[in-house]
């Protein structure tokens, strides 16, 4: 079922054509499917429609024409779309990134927009380090080899056919030193890695032992390069062929921020030509990726399907903050406002 409607009591369920709803969730499925009880609290603010997915601007307009409140995760709300939605007064972005909403157009129409900051910090940091360990320790690879009988038939007490790498003493370079960058750096430091940072923060504000570096110097010295920055004009394509050419051939690239931060063809070429050692990515420039994305077949490239944010705990926090944001706006005290 694509859509669930609940009356303000949160009890009645109507299947079929979309009703006029005061609150519309355009793409609830990545969080929880329509019908999940976690959405019921949002029905306290009026008739609620929760859709699994909304696939076109026309569908967005049709579903939100009467809406006062709209929630979106990845459905774009452009200036052209917003002009066709004069009743909308509040947009709740169900994520930290805000690039899917034209915030200037929203403000011009008197629409308050909010986001969900810092809900997935621990989960994203954990995933970044998981990608790193998948590259350096190859646990899944060796576990499958054991299941295939390769240890059983081995003449020695051990076997290894893929290099293992110790992280202690190596440079962990962080691009973007907000909540997630800091959390990931703390884990790296616990492994004994030397944390290097590109940030606008002054050196004296960084934790003891962390070193602030200019961007190009950071790339040159990185043994592990981990991206934790938002997507802006200055970060788009930040990891390009020129900077890849600065890096050590033993370097590892991690990206759990935004796919377009990386020039994907340049990274694939560097991996395939063995000019860098490996990459661990949770994000790509187009999601889901196009079949011809060069990184899908690149050498030593581990890719997960944008799941770093999606632990049960992080999704619960996201829902709690989204509801708190709506309550605060309804009370005339909006919080987490963006734009």
What CATH number did the domain enclosing 15 receive? 3.40.50.720
Check if 287 is active-site: yes
**Percent of the chain having pLDDT more than 90?**
88
pLDDT value of position 143: 95
Mean pLDDT of 329-336: 97
Query: What predicted TM-score, i.e. pTM, was given to this entire model?
Result: 0.88
Check if 228 is active-site: no
Taking 70 as the threshold, does the pLDDT of residue 220 lie above it? yes
**3-state secondary structure (DSSP) of residue 251:** coil
Same domain flag for 133 and 202: yes
Set 140, 166, 287, 330: catalytic member: 287
Separation between Cα atoms, residue 253 and residue 277, nearest integer Å = 8
Which alpha helices (H) appear in the chain, and where do they start and end? Answer: 57-64, 79-83, 103-108, 121-137, 139-147, 179-190, 215-221, 241-246, 264-272, 312-330
Separation between Cα atoms, residue 6 and residue 85, nearest integer Å = 22
Check if 275 is active-site: no
Set 258, 264, 315, 317: catalytic member: 258
Nearest in space to 30 (alpha carbons), one of 288, 323, 337, 255: 288
Same domain flag for 225 and 235: yes
Mean pLDDT of 159-188: 95
Same domain flag for 225 and 210: yes
Pairing of strands 90-93, 112-114: parallel
Mean pLDDT of 153-158: 94
Same domain flag for 114 and 238: no
Same domain flag for 109 and 46: yes
What is the separation of C-alpha 239 from the centre of its chain, rounded to a whole number of angstroms? Answer: 18
User: Which tens digits make up the pLDDT trace of 309-325?
Assistant: 999 999 999 999 999 99
Taking 60 as the threshold, does the pLDDT of residue 14 lie above it? no
Q: Which domain covers residue 167, as residue numbers?
A: 121-303
Token pair recorded at residue 131: 């990608």
Taking 70 as the threshold, does the pLDDT of residue 11 lie above it? no
């Amino acid at each position: 079922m694509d859509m669930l409607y609940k009356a303000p009591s949160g009890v009645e369920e109507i299947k079929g054509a979309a009703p006029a709803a005061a609150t519309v969730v355009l793409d609830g499925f990545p969080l929880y499917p329509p019908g999940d009880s976690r959405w019921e609290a949002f029905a306290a603010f009026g008739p609620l429609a929760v859709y699994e997915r909304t696939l076109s601007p026309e569908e967005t307009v049709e579903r939100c024409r009467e809406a006062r409140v709209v929630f979106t995760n990845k459905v774009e709300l452009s200036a052209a779309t917003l002009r066709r939605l004069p009743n909308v007064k509040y947009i709740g972005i169900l994520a930290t990134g805000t690039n899917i909403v034209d915030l200037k157009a929203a403000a011009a129409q008197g629409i308050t927009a909010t986001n969900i900051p810092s809900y997935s910090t621990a989960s994203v940091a954990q995933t970044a380090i998981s990608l790193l360990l998948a590259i350096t320790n190859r646990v899944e690879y060796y576990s499958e080899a054991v299941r295939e009988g390769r240890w059983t038939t081995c003449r020695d007490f051990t076997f290894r056919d893929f290099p293992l790498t110790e992280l202690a003493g190596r440079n962990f370079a962080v691009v973007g030193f907000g909540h997630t960058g800091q959390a990931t750096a703390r884990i790296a430091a616990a492994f004994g890695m030397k944390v290097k940072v590109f940030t606008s923060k002054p050196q004296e504000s960084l934790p003891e032992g962390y070193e602030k570096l200019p961007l190009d110097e950071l790339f040159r010295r990185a043994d592990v390069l981990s991206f934790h920055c938002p997507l802006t004009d200055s970060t788009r394509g930040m990891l390009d062929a020129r900077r890849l050419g600065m890096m050590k051939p033993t370097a590892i690239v991690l990206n759990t921020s935004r796919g377009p931060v990386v020039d994907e063809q340049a990274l694939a070429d560097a991996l395939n030509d063995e000019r860098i050692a490996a990459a661990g990515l949770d994000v790509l420039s187009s999601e889901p990726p196009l079949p011809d994305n060069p990184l899908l077949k690149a050498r030593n490239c581990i890719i997960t399907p944008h799941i770093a944010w999606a632990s049960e705990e992080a999704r619960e926090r996201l829902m709690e903050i989204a509801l708190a944001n709506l309550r605060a706006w309804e009370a005339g005290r909006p919080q987490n406002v963006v734009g």
